[in-house]
Amino acid sequence: MNTPHVPSRLFPSARQEAAVANAPTSTAQTEHPAYALAFQDNDFLLRDDLRPVRFQLELLKAELALGEAGIDSTFVFYGSARIPSPEESEAVMAAATTPQTRAVAERLVAKSHYYSVARELARLASTPVDGSSERSFTVCSGGGPSIMEAANRGALDAGAPTVGLNIVLPFEQLPNPYVTPGLSFQFHYFALRKMHFLMRAKAVAVFPGGFGTFDEFFELLTLVQTGKITPLPILLYGRDFWSRVVNFEALADEGVIAHSDLALFHVVETAEEGWAIVRESFGL
């Protein structure tokens, strides 16, 4: 008895349809943008009215790719794009030509050891624990230079895949060379990028940084404080830096946060110290 063939789908796929969508004859009608398939019409997709659709696409593209790559837990690294690596410190000082720029360069160079700390922490997080063949975390950064580069570099040191979530900026930013190519994404919307940072996060390390780092760190604290996400290990690197730029105790004393909120994060200095907190949190 012959088994009838049942097609897997009745309609052609969008890819198949797009391949034959161009009309063989050029006419006033077929040349007009109105005739293009909606999903091939960039002018249509980039209309202000289509912003909700673009939100969905930015959420879905990375979500599908990360899911297909089997990445369900990440260790997120936040931090400055300006702190030099130890190898770059000499060049940073040499480029400072005025007393003011030299003072700034000295402060940046003084923080260059955090590049090494971030790299080592990422390596530890990317190395299978106690001989296991499975890794518990995939390192995820903003994909750019400095602390972000160090994180992706440390994961690569351990032979692990690593994620980079880049953002379109007015000035050029290329992904650092240590991001796994198939896990290097680019975002237009900061909001969607920040969602992807935390959707799979199981631990977060926050290094000294500027407006972007503050934005990501304080949003994370707000989400935990308000119960929007489950508490997770938050490592705050750089006691001297953070105590200088933010007076957390004063916020609590003023009553605008609770003193118990100061326990939402751990101030640490070394990779080993931070990794021990993460391991203890998950019983690793």
* Nearest Cα to Cα of residue 189 among 31, 21, 7, 52: 52
Look at the chain and report how many structural domains it folds into: 1
Model's pTM, two decimal places? 0.91
- The SS3 assignment for 210 reads coil
Given the DSSP bridges, would you call strands 234-237 and 201-206 parallel, antiparallel or unpaired? Answer: parallel
Q: What is the pLDDT of residue 267?
A: 98
Which CATH number is 150's domain given?
3.40.50.450
Does residue 80 belong to any structural domain of this protein?
A: yes
Does residue 237 belong to any structural domain of this protein?
A: yes
Distance in angstroms (rounded) separating the CA atoms of residues 192 and 124: 28
Does residue 83 belong to any structural domain of this protein?
A: yes
Q: What is the pLDDT of residue 15?
A: 84
Distance in angstroms (rounded) separating the CA atoms of residues 200 and 165: 13
Contacts of 234 (CB under 8 A, 6+ apart): 203, 204, 206, 220, 221, 224, 264, 265, 266
Does residue 36 belong to any structural domain of this protein?
A: no
Does residue 24 belong to any structural domain of this protein?
A: no
Terminal CA-CA length for the chain: 57
Distance in angstroms (rounded) separating the CA atoms of residues 37 and 15: 11
Given the DSSP bridges, would you call strands 201-206 and 184-187 parallel, antiparallel or unpaired? Answer: unpaired
Does residue 19 belong to any structural domain of this protein?
A: no
Residue at 16: amino acid letter:
Q
Does residue 224 belong to any structural domain of this protein?
A: yes
**pLDDT tens for the chain, residues 1 to 284:** 566 777 777 888 888 888 877 767 788 988 888 988 899 899 999 999 999 999 999 999 999 999 999 999 999 999 999 999 999 888 889 888 899 999 999 999 999 999 999 999 999 999 987 766 567 899 999 999 999 999 999 999 999 999 999 999 887 678 999 999 999 999 999 999 999 999 999 999 999 999 999 999 999 999 999 999 999 999 999 999 999 999 999 999 999 999 999 999 999 999 999 999 999 999 88
CB contact at 8 A, 94 and 101 = no
Q: Which domain holds residue 226?
A: 72-282
List the Cα angle 225/230/234 in 5-degree steps.
70
- The SS3 assignment for 221 reads helix
Residue at 77: amino acid letter:
F
Helices (H) and strands (E) in the chain, counts: 13, 7
Does residue 14 belong to any structural domain of this protein?
A: no
